[in-house]
């Protein structure tokens, strides 16, 4: 996908329950990825990440990169990606027997700011998934930069990443985006695609102070 982005799989004693990876992003950034369809693993991931950002949570400044992947023939989310800091979760909704209540509360908490790019369908796709997930306070980076910087809303994720974060030549191959996301054994290429998407959303959201949205409109 990109010479500056590589993925390293880690050994798992129970890969049907959990798979973990490290994505090396432009050499100096390392994204720790958890891939699972197991509710207990999702709950554990949230419980582990939560205390690391308790200050942001209490001050209502928690930014979460959020993305979904789906199959071209479906209007429901097959996966949900969350990224906070350098920790990303890829939750295989299509194969999950249920969703932890902690995740439902986390997604519906209006004190949290969930951010993505070109995400106008994400909320509906999560609601249309077999688990009927509801997410509050979902922000599109394009809306923020259009209001605060006068940039076009037609900018792509790659263009926004270059302008806001300075990462050049980040690629999102269409063939990966349109691949079979309901597969149980997602490929490393799919895991990298989904995780980088959520990580960049988080990073841009943090750089733009999106927790102030829509107060940014008055600046």
Residue 177 structure tokens: 């985006």
pTM above 0.85, yes or no: yes
Domain count, the chain: 1
Exposure letters 204-218 (e unless 16+ CB within 10 A, then b) = bbbebbbbbbeebee
Dihedral (CA of 104, 97, 54, 202) sign = negative
Cite the beta strand spans of 15-59 per DSSP E.
19-25, 29-36
Residue 153 structure tokens: 């809303």
**What's 195's domain CATH number?**
3.30.420.10
- Written as tens digits, the pLDDT of the chain (219 aa) is 467 899 999 999 999 999 999 999 988 899 999 999 999 999 999 999 987 777 676 677 899 999 999 988 888 999 999 999 999 999 999 999 999 999 999 999 999 999 999 998 999 999 999 999 999 999 999 999 999 999 999 999 999 999 999 998 898 899 999 999 999 999 999 999 999 999 999 999 999 999 887 665 544
For residue 138, give the H/E element and its range. Answer: strand 138-140
Which domain range does residue 198 map to? 5-218
């Amino acid at each position: 996908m990109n010479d500056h982005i590589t993925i390293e799989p880690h050994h798992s004693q129970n890969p049907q329950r959990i798979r973990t990876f490290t994505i090396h992003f432009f050499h100096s950034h390392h994204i720790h990825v958890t891939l699972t369809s197991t509710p207990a693993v999702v709950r554990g991931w949230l419980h582990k990440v939560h205390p690391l950002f308790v200050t942001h949570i209490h001050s209502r400044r928690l930014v979460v990169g959020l993305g979904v992947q789906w199959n071209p023939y479906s209007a429901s989310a097959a996966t949900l990606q969350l990224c906070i800091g350098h920790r990303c979760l890829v939750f295989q909704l299509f194969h999950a027997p249920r969703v932890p209540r902690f995740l439902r509360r986390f997604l519906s908490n209006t004190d949290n700011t969930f951010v993505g790019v070109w995400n106008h369908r994400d909320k509906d796709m999560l609601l249309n998934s077999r688990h009927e997930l509801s997410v509050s306070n979902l922000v599109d980076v394009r809306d923020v930069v259009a209001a605060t910087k006068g940039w076009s809303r037609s900018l792509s994720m790659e263009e926004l990443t270059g302008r806001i974060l300075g990462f050049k030549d980040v690629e999102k191959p269409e063939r990966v985006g349109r691949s079979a996301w309901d597969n149980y054994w997602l490929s490393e290429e799919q895991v990298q695609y989904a995780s980088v998407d959520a990580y960049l959303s988080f990073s841009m959201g943090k750089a733009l102070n999106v927790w102030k949205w829509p107060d940014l409109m008055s600046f």
